[in-house]
Amino acid sequence: MSLPEKAFPVSWDQFHRDARALAWRLSGVNGEWKAMVCITRGGLVPAAVISRELGIRLIETVCVASYHDYSEQGELRVLKEVNPALLENDGEGVLIVDDLTDTGKTAAIVRAMMPRAHFATIYAKPKGRPLVDTFVTEVSQDTWIYFPWDMGFSYQKPISEKERG
């Protein structure tokens, strides 16, 4: 696996702060969300934080497999659909949550299921950003975000040493 040009490691503390910041932004968007749909697997962790902060009790998942390895996005497959009751009125009053929108391909599939739902992610890249209603941080398209659940604790070389070889 070749490493991306730009790496953006996110600690558990930072991710929790960013998820709470997203909840804060969402608190002024809708009077009361009727449900939350999180995109698995990345949306599970922010969904837990946001549902607590906003008092959302009805949480559903939509399961879309997209990253087949950690360097390239493979073919998208919907492994589990959303409960049909949440699709009424094109998802109006539903909050969709994911950790990241990258190319926008996953977002487009879920957005097509619920076009009137509110789509929120913690991080957004330029290609996926037009599909997202609310996000916290935009990163460049060539940046790879290393989420805390994908990392272990180990020594990291200083940037100056990495550049030398």
Is 149 marked as a binding-site residue? Answer: no
- Rounded Cα distance, 12 and 41, in Å: 16
Catalytic residue from among 18, 90, 102, 150: 102
Catalytic residue from among 98, 133, 142, 150: 98
β-pair type (94-101, 143-146): unpaired
Convert 129-146 to b/e letters by CB count within 10 Å (16 or more is b).
eebbebbbbebeeeeebe
Is 102 marked as a binding-site residue? Answer: yes
CA distances for 158 relative to 155, 161, 163, angstroms = 9, 5, 9
Q: Is 98 annotated in the active site?
A: yes
Is 109 marked as a binding-site residue? Answer: no
Residue of 6, 7, 4 lying closest to 71 (CA atoms): 4
Q: Is 99 annotated in the active site?
A: yes
Catalytic residue from among 13, 99, 142, 150: 99
Residue of 6, 7, 16 lying closest to 149 (CA atoms): 16
Is 103 marked as a binding-site residue? Answer: yes
Residue of 30, 25, 28 lying closest to 91 (CA atoms): 30
Is 42 marked as a binding-site residue? Answer: yes
Q: Is 142 annotated in the active site?
A: no
- Rounded Cα distance, 49 and 114, in Å: 22
Is 13 marked as a binding-site residue? Answer: no
Is 137 marked as a binding-site residue? Answer: no
Is 143 marked as a binding-site residue? Answer: no
Is 99 marked as a binding-site residue? Answer: yes
Numbered residues of the known binding site: 41-42, 98-106, 144-145
Numbered residues of the known binding site for guanine: 102, 145
Numbered residues of the known binding site for 5-phospho-alpha-D-ribose 1-diphosphate: 41-42, 98-106
Numbered residues of the known binding site for xanthine: 102, 145
Q: Which residues are catalytic?
A: 98-99, 102
Numbered residues of the known binding site for Mg(2+): 99
